[in-house]
Amino acid sequence: MFRFLLLLHLVGLALGLGGLLCQLILLAKFRRANDITERAGSERMAGSVISLIQAPGVYLLLVSGAGLSWLARWAPLHQGWLHFKLLFFFWIFLATRLMVRNAKNIHILRQQCGEEDSQRLLSLKDNHSVIGYVTILSFLFVLIFSLWKPI
């Protein structure tokens, strides 16, 4: 059971981090594209990646991590490294929820703006990118605290 939960945890990590990187690259690559269909398509694809890959990966991380803690009889909860890991995971979970909401708002604003990028749409995309970059750093810290377990 432990190995199965650990496998699910690693799959969740791969989905969450992979989805995050994929959607950030999609938005950055087509950010200044002259063709409106490329910009709108990248926004829709990024939203789909967040909803269908990144968010389920983060939820899988949450459930499998709770299962692993349960199998360990909650013993790691008294160790400081896990407190930091949970703190960074809380940001990842919150940021994923924010990015899902941002993706929906970007889609709505794209429909309203048409071919021109409004200031609100550009601001929302910038906000989305900053949240994504901070979340990548949080994933790195989670990985560090998973591999290196100081007292």
| CA angle (88 as vertex; 96, 51 as ends), nearest 5 | 15
Q: Which of 22, 13, 42, 48 is nearest to 30 (CA)?
A: 42
Indicate whether 86 pLDDT > 70.
yes
What are the DSSP E strand ranges found in 82-147?
Answer: none
Confidence of residue 151 (pLDDT cuts 50, 70, 90): low
pLDDT value for 15 = 96
Q: What region does 74 belong to: left with phi over 0, alpha with psi -120 to 50, or beta?
A: left
- Cβ-in-10-Å burial (0-12, 13-18, 19+) of 115 comes to exposed
C-alpha–C-alpha distance, residues 79 and 107, integer Å: 43
C-alpha–C-alpha distance, residues 90 and 84, integer Å: 10
* Spans of all domains in the chain: 2-147
pLDDT in tens, 101-140: 999 998 898 888 877 778 898 899 899 999 999 999 999 9
pLDDT in tens, 13-63: 999 999 999 999 988 888 777 788 888 888 899 999 999 999 999 999 999
| Predicted TM-score of the model (pTM) | 0.85
